[in-house]
Amino acid sequence: ILASTLSLIVYWLIRDSRRVRNLSAKHIFITGCDTRLGNSLAKWLDKRGFCLIAACTTEKGSPELQSCSSLSLKTVNLNLADSNGIARAVVFVTKETAEKGFFGLVSNAKRTAPVARTDWLGIEDFHSVLDVSLLGLTKIILKLLVLLIKAEGAVVKHLISAKGLMTFTGGGYSLSKWGIEDFFDTLQIEMQHFGVKVSIVQHGFFKAGVVNSDIIKKYLRLWNRLTPEIRDSYGEKYFVE
């Protein structure tokens, strides 16, 4: 009983020593807050008192998030495929944090479509995904690193699906995940010098709210734009199955 009691006391002391304090002075910037993981995380951290800056891609994303959050939560529109939009977001974040840096960065924004057989796609299909999920994300993180270095003990996390560890079909989605894996592994090593903690949160699969009819329509559009030679090589039966 004595040993158990002492162990519990030691556990409490260690846990309390690692607890983040003065949350209202801790700025956290999250990308991809329109829906799903980014949206839920922004609401969760806001309720716990952090000073949140939430980046939304769509016009309706910001007002919807602000309507169910505290007044301390700030939003900014961010399209990672737009260099000017990235520059405006960086200026906004710098101004909000009073150039003192911020405590945490959570990158979540991504683009998935189109996903299909490789020879069904053109280079523009790869650009549409990689320009957002890999290059755009890399660009804004590079511009924000100086603010993270200013904040002692800052944390950088990227939410990435298990597709960063496996490939299931052609297109830029899995390719972008593999690229981000390498980018964050490199950051993890290099940012240790400044006390910035970098990690990847690899979540599993979950219901994404995409119905089968939407997926079929996307495949149908890709199929219809193929040349007769490619369609003949697969055959109508292949497409239907």
Q: Are 32 and 85 found together in one domain? A: yes
Confirm whether 114 is domain-assigned. yes
Q: Are 224 and 137 found together in one domain? A: no
Instruction: State the Cα angle at 106 between 102 and 109, rounded to 5°.
Output: 130
Q: Are 186 and 221 found together in one domain? A: no
Residue 26 has a pLDDT of 83
Place of tokens 């511009």: 143
Q: Are 166 and 215 found together in one domain? A: no
Confirm whether 3 is domain-assigned. no
99: left (phi over 0), alpha (psi -120 to 50) or beta: left
Confirm whether 156 is domain-assigned. yes
Question: Over the chain (241 residues), what is each successive 10-residue block's mean pLDDT?
Answer: 90 77 81 85 90 89 88 90 91 83 81 81 90 90 88 78 70 85 91 89 67 75 90 90 84
Q: Are 195 and 230 found together in one domain? A: no
Confirm whether 7 is domain-assigned. no
Q: Are 204 and 215 found together in one domain? A: no
Q: Which of 157, 125, 156, 139 is nearest to 88 (CA)?
A: 139
Confirm whether 41 is domain-assigned. yes
SS3 labels along the chain: CHHHHHHHHHHHHHHHHCCCCCHHHCEEEECCCCCHHHHHHHHHHHHCCCEEEEEECCCCHHHHHHCCCCCCCEEEECCCCCHHHHHHHHHHHHHHCCCCCCCEEEECCCCCCCECCHHHCCHHHHHHHHHHHHHHHHHHHHHHHHHHHHCCCCEEEEEEEHHHCCCCCCEHHHHHHHHHHHHHHHHHHHHHHHCCEEEEEEECCCCCCCCHHHHHHHHHHHHHCCCHHHHHHHCHHHHHC
**C-alpha torsion sign, points 101, 106, 112, 117:** positive
Distance CA 110, CA 159 (A): 10
Q: Are 203 and 215 found together in one domain? A: no
Q: Are 217 and 151 found together in one domain? A: no
Residue 135 has a pLDDT of 92
Q: Are 154 and 221 found together in one domain? A: no
Catalytic residue among 11, 173, 219, 238: 173
Query: Could you confirm whether 173 is annotated as catalytic?
Result: yes
Q: Are 179 and 151 found together in one domain? A: yes
Confirm whether 187 is domain-assigned. yes
Q: Which domain holds residue 189?
A: 19-210
Q: Are 92 and 175 found together in one domain? A: yes
Q: Are 82 and 130 found together in one domain? A: yes
Distance CA 42, CA 198 (A): 19
How many domains does the structure of the chain reveal?
2
Instruction: State the Cα angle at 105 between 77 and 168, rounded to 5°.
Output: 85
Residue 164 has a pLDDT of 61
